[in-house]
Amino acid sequence: MMTSTTSESSATTPLLDLQALVVAVRRRRRLWSAMALFGLLLGAVVAVLLPPAPAAVTKVLVAHQEDQPNDTGTLIRTDAQLLATSRIAGQALRILKSPEKPADFMADYRGTGLTNNVLQIDVTGKTDAEAVARAKALAEAFVADHAKRIQAIADANAKGLLDQRDRMQAELADVNKTIAGRTPDTDPKDSANLESLFARRAELTSQISDFGQRAEEARVGAPQLVAGTQIVDAARAVRHSLPKAVVTDAAIGMILGLFLGLALAAVTVVVADRPVLRRDIAGNLGASVIAELPRRSGRLWQRRRTRVARERLTTTLTRTARGSAEPLSLLELGCARSTSVIALSLARALAADGPVVVVDGLPGTQLARHRPKPGDPTVVGGEQVTAVSPQDFRIGVGSVAPGTAWTDLQYLGTQTVLVVRAGHGSAAWLHTVARQLADQRIPVIGVVLIDPDPRDRTDGTLWDGLHTALRGRSERPARQNGTGLRRTERQPIRAARVPDDDQEVR
């Protein structure tokens, strides 16, 4: 039954836990906050040190022969593209009498269609006066080119119509000549042919008149379009506000920095695979979370809650140490200082029952070097563990960080409480810790989680297996202490926690 439950839970484990990802990214708020702040400062500095070049703007009203009410802006976009050609750039440079190359000049301006008939021209220059002169020359060159194209199109249309009219006039002359060469005859066949010639002459006369009128309209419409294309907003310099530029660039930099920071945090979280939720840490270590403590004292209104949590943990560990004849150890992972504080608090609580010795197995023996206060327990280094009297309470403090001498952990204590900082160790290393402690036959009473996520609502209690990391072993053989007495191993106590959901626990 336990095997099937475990297989089902592992089968339903998602490939990417979004809740764990969100919590881990939120815990790395220093990273993406620093990136956002850096982007904000960088944007502000860029706005101050790299101000925009002097610019000018002008607007041109463009009349099109093919204007339609339902036009989607195709014609004005075509005009904007025609503006960015070497022909118009060259004409503007000739107006300015500038030796600059058209290709270089084209990089300093752009055209934007505001409506179907309004074209805005933005130009940059070395000074405001130069930018205004460039914008004026471009507008004049575009208007002249547009008028020239309209007139050329009108002349071509008129010429085509007049050529067609001339061909019909020649055909009409032939028809008139044929009609003039005929004499009235009583033959019905000749009468029918003559009637068809008269009908053709009338048709040609109508078409000649029509083509002449259309040619005249083509010529008349061109001046109206030319007159309708004009500069409606004279070239003027664009004023730049430094405070506005600073605010805009800073906001853009902050958004980009925040995005990059969040992306970097998410990628590093996925790659590092460092569990931060209670359920993940408990599952990887094979032991339940029995307490949670912040890494620091916190704000003033949070200190009382932290103090109460520390006192509750000290009471729990004191009860466990008094109820077992086996020495207890506290093994840290990423939180040596917090583990030292917990060990000293536990030793002070046990001092009422007799002498207590704290064995410091932390790297650097930082606990053994601390200045003792009145009433503090005796602290010795790990090399002096054999000199501790068997009648004394012994509390070992060590580390399970990478590089740990696993065989030395038994000298610190034959049962342990893991003090783990959330998000410090990878899932693979937590598995390694659980396996090595199991190989050393050191049961894990529970896990004290340091710096947990305050919004974590997952359950850190193992409900489907034993409370230890001993690969299913529920009891250990009795050990002999230094006095020759055999000690009976106490059955580990399951942490009493309430599941988050409404599922019935059987």
CA distance 214 to 220: 10
For residue 386, the tally of other CB atoms under 10 A from its CB is 7
Burial class, 242, CB count within 10 angstroms (exposed 0-12 / middle 13-18 / buried 19+): exposed
DSSP 272-298: HT---SHHHHHHHHTS-EEEEE-SS--
Condensed to tens digits (0 to 9), the pLDDT of residues 226-245 reads 788 899 999 999 888 888 98
Provide CATH 3.40.50.300 ranges for the chain. Answer: 275-487
Average pLDDT across the chain, whole number:
79
pLDDT winner (highest mean) among 60-64, 67-71, 215-219, 319-323: 60-64
User: Tell me, what's the pLDDT at 142?
Assistant: 93
Phi, psi of 468 (to 5 degrees): -115, 170
CA distance 312 to 61: 80
Higher pLDDT, 387 or 171: 171
pLDDT band of 506, cuts 50, 70, 90: very low
Determine the distance from the C-alpha atom of residue 157 to the mean position of all C-alpha atoms in its chain, rounded to a whole number: 58
The arithmetic mean of pLDDT across residues 431-450, rounded, is 90
The arithmetic mean of pLDDT across residues 149-158, rounded, is 79
pLDDT band of 11, cuts 50, 70, 90: very low
Q: How far is CA 436 from CA 262, 285, 327, 470, 491, in A?
A: 35, 11, 19, 10, 20
pLDDT band of 481, cuts 50, 70, 90: very low
Tell which residue, 357, 365, 349, 348, has the closest CA to residue 399.
Answer: 365
User: Tell me, what's the pLDDT at 8?
Assistant: 42
Higher pLDDT, 420 or 217: 420
Higher pLDDT, 504 or 258: 258
Q: Is the dihedral of CA 357, 399, 304, 500 positive or negative?
A: negative
CA distance 255 to 262: 11
Please state the CATH superfamily assignment of the domain spanning residues 275-487 in this structure.
P-loop containing nucleotide triphosphate hydrolases (3.40.50.300)
Whether 138 shows a pLDDT value over 90: the answer reads yes
This model's pTM is above 0.75: no
* Helices and strands: H and E segment counts in the chain: 14, 13
Whether 163 shows a pLDDT value over 80: the answer reads no
